[in-house]
A and B are shown apart, each in its own frame.
Chain A
Amino acid sequence: MNSSSTTTLTSKPGSSSKLDHWRAYPRFLSRVVWQAFDGNWLFYVWMILLTAVFLVGANAWAVQVRDGMGLTSMSDHVSWGLYIANFTFLVGLAAGGVMMVIPAYLYHDEEMHDVVIVGELLAVAAIIMALCFVVADLGRPDRFWHLLPGLGRFNFPLSMLTWDVIVLNGYLLINLHICGYLLYMRFLGRKPNPKWYVPMVFLSIIWAVSIHTVTAFLYCGLGGRPFWNTALLAPRFLASAFVSGPAFIILAIGILQRFLGTSFGVGPIRTLANIMRVTILINLLMVGSEVFVEFYTGGTHTSAAQYLYFGLHGKNELVPWIWSSVGMTIIAALLLLSPKVFTHGWMLTLACVLAFCGIWIEKGMGLIIPGFIPSVLHEIVEYRPSLLEWKISTGIWALGFMIYTVALKVTLNVFRKPSSQAGASPLAGR
């Protein structure tokens, strides 16, 4: 209502009647599309490379749909594999993206406002990747519509997977709305009206917690799988998400500063590194606590953890994986604890890379595969992803990087110029 009357003062051409939006919004969208396909030679090389990798994955997926999932290494014993491992990790990454938002809006950290959108866009890209991994894991992707409320038969609220469908798509929409609204207002040269996005920002903070909690509930609610059947799973998911999310954002900001000369200042990076300092230790504490309960108690329920960390009956496919994860996370934690991490850029970069990879293993294969080994009838059938699974997974990651690159490019181009003239922070709409 009176949002339009306040924005009229700052808007550029004439009135701001509703009709204006009918013309302005398509123009905004076409500008976004134009931005996605135009850039310097570096942009083209990067995007062509990603497209090529994505197409290899898309082709592998098409073959998998045609010939069946027998082309994967999954079996009736290990019925989820690399896809669901990546899905789980990416939900965490999406939730972690919101770590930028909390200091910016909850604690009124003004400097964080400029970089908030880097995190929000990460959430968008990560959720799209996560959804792609679910589709890649479906035996019958053509029946996807059975999952749509109203059209299909939605087993809500009994099935945790239906909860996940709701929270993941909801999170995607919320973040798309926030990013889209801020960009559109910037495009119009107007000051964003807090009424239209600040409530959504707060909702996204709560929602971020919900997506990873619900995803943890997918696994920990299954009584037949003792490795997952622990109340600590959801808190562990959140702790590790709040390591991998900030780690990725610090790296992304570093790359943007190096290649594009965009300056975000040191404040946001310092804040994010401080968040990681705490969350990485909480994560390690919880892992240690679980390991204690498993091994001190002993018994049959320990066999999955036994398999994961030390191997079982001579089968030890995951042992090198999980120990590299443990090693990477501990080194990252030590690097982050050192005060030098803020003066020596390489230390922070290394810590973020190690933390990110360490969590990818721990919240990926290290979590999903031991749930199936040994099987519920205590058979040990091992799993190593097939080439096809690696192709599809890499393809989805390439798609995610494409989305993230384009989203950042559009954002920075729409944001940068006017904000340097006006001097006002585009996101400080409060």
Chain B
Amino acid sequence: MDTETTLAPKEGITRRDVLKGLGATLGLAAYAKALAPLTEWKPAESVDEFLQKHYKELSPVDLNIVLRRLEKDTKDNHGVDVNITDVKAQSGVKFGYALNLSICIGCRKCAEACHQENNHDRPSNQSYIRVLEMSKGSIDMEKGNAHYDHPVPQPDKFYMPVQCQQCDNPPCVSVCPVEATWKEPDGIVVVDYNWCIGCRYCQAACPYHARRFNWTKPEIPAKETNPEQNYLSNRIRPQGVMEKCTFCLHRTRNGRLPACLEACPTGARVFGNLLDPKSEIRWVLENKRVFVLKEDLGTKPQFFYFFDE
């Protein structure tokens, strides 16, 4: 009715129509130009990566294809030959970690070993371990300092390395909207780097600053890369996803010790199977004065701190 006649286009091509056509063309060109950087984006080139299923939904055959593809991608993007495996959790094992605050000297060798073992980004000097220098007389972290730069140990200080606490009630896992992070049967909280959407909700939820985000594509010189890699742990992470400490599951599930423990010069770190009554960690938990960080939050950490008598 009335609306239609007033709004309908006039017949024939008017000057207005020509201008509109010109405007539309220029507009489309501007859109194409503005979004052009997307075409230079690496993942945009790989259909296989885009369509890859969640880790838990991959059949052994699919998984093998994925691992080989990731090895090839690493060669293409980082120029290094690597061997990516997928070690599964062993039954009857639940990993726990304990750290002796009486003898830790704050040398940060553990953080450095983590940096190398787990193929962290070199420019940001990333590591899953943060060592806090604390004043004696308080375990209030507000009085701690992670940026000390002087000889250690200082006489009036003690040192508290903090890494993923592998909580039994992990808030990071509950909040993930896509189940890209979960707790493995042996107690390790892992991330599927190829499923994470990078919303960083887990980073907001974690009370221990255990999670790291890949703000850029990690850079590691080929000769510094650790070529023995694992899907759920130390393979070179893609840009834009979360990562975290995995208790070096590629080592520990094969009967070795975490890199941070091997690097510790004072023997402050104790690692083992919590389900084995004869393990050293069980002895520590039963005989030392043990505490966990932020116990009041109910996260049930499986990382314990203790003092010597």
User: Do A and B associate with each other?
Assistant: yes
A residues near B, CB below 8 A? Answer: 12, 31, 34-35, 37-38, 48, 51, 55-56, 58-59, 62-63, 65-70, 72, 74-77, 79-80, 134, 137-144, 146-147, 152-155, 158-162, 165, 187, 189, 218-219, 222-225, 300, 303, 371-372, 374-379, 413-414, 417-418, 421
Between A and B, 22 residue pairs with Cβ closer than 8 Å are A31-B4, A37-B24, A62-B34, A62-B37, A66-B38, A72-B215, A76-B203, A79-B200, A138-B240, A139-B239, A140-B198, A143-B197, A153-B180, A154-B178, A155-B179, A159-B175, A159-B201, A161-B177, A218-B201, A222-B205, A224-B297, A417-B3
**CB of A161 to closest CB in B, whole Å:** 4
Taken residue by residue from 126 to 151, chain B's Cβ proximity to chain A (1 for < 8 Å, 0 otherwise) reads as: 00001010000000111010100000
- Of B41, B142, B206, the contact of A66 (CB 8 Å cutoff): B41
Question: Is there contact, CB below 8 Å, between A74 and B44?
Answer: no
A376/B20 contact (C-beta < 8 A), A146-B178, A418-B1 known: no
B residues near A189, Cβ cutoff 8 Å = 1
Instruction: Tell me, in angstroms, the Cα distance from A12 to B27 when the chains sit together.
Output: 38
Q: Are B35 and A58 in contact (CB under 8 A)?
A: yes
Known pairs A76-B212, A154-B177, A417-B6; A139 contacts B197 (CB<8 A): yes
Per-residue contact bits, chain B 2-38, to A (CB 8 Å; 1 contact, 0 not): 1110110100000000001001100100110111111
In angstroms, Cα B205 to Cα A137, docked, is 16
Interface-centre pick from A55, A142, A154, A158 (highest chain B CB count, 10 A)? A142
Q: Which residues of A contact B201 (CB under 8 A)?
A: 159, 161, 218
Contact residues in A for B208 (Cβ distance below 8 Å): 224, 376-377
Interface of A is mostly: helix
| B267 at interface by CB-CB < 8 Å | no
Measured CA separation A76–B244 after assembly (Å) = 12
Q: Are A155 and B3 in contact (CB under 8 A)?
A: no
Contact of B146 among A31, A141, A377 (CB under 8 A): A377
B130-A377 in contact (CB<8A): yes
Asked if B98 is at the interface (CB within 8 A of a chain A CB), the reply is no
**Which B274-309 residues sit within 8 Å CB-CB of chain A?**
294, 297-299
- Min CB distance A322 to B, Å, is 20
Closest-by-CB residue of A relative to B142 is A378
Q: B residues within 8 A CB of A138?
A: 197-199, 240
Determine the distance from Cα of A169 to Cα of B43 in the docked complex, in whole angstroms: 27
Which residues of B are at the interface with A, using a C-beta cutoff of 8 A? 1-4, 6-7, 9, 20, 23-24, 27, 30-31, 33-38, 40-41, 43-44, 50, 54, 130, 132, 140-142, 144, 146, 162, 171, 174-180, 195-201, 203-209, 211-217, 238-241, 294, 297-299
Are B179 and A153 touching (Cβ within 8 A)?
yes
Decide if B146 touches A379 in the complex (CB within 8 Å). Answer: yes
A58: chain B residues at CB < 8 Å are 31, 34-35
CA distance A38 to B212 in the complex (A): 49
A68 to B31, CA, bound (A): 21
Q: Could you tell me the distance between the alpha carbons of A144 and B50 in the complex, rounded to whole angstroms?
A: 10
Chain A residue numbers with a CB within 8 Å of B203 are 76, 79
- Smallest distance from the beta carbon of B269 to chain A beta carbons, Å? 19
A187 touching B205, Cβ below 8 Å: no
With A155-B178, A159-B176, A414-B3 known as contacts, the answer to whether A377 contacts B162 (CB < 8 A) is yes
- Which residues of chain A are within 8 angstroms of B4 by Cβ–Cβ distance? 31
Residue of B nearest to A56 (CB): B34
With a CB–CB cut-off of 8 A, which chain A residues contact B146? 377, 379
Do residues A62 and B200 form an inter-chain contact, with CB atoms below 8 A?
Answer: no
Query: B residues within 8 A CB of A34?
Result: 7, 9
Expressed in whole angstroms, the Cα–Cα distance for A68 and B237 within the complex equals: 13
Nearest-CB residue, chain B, relative to A156: B177
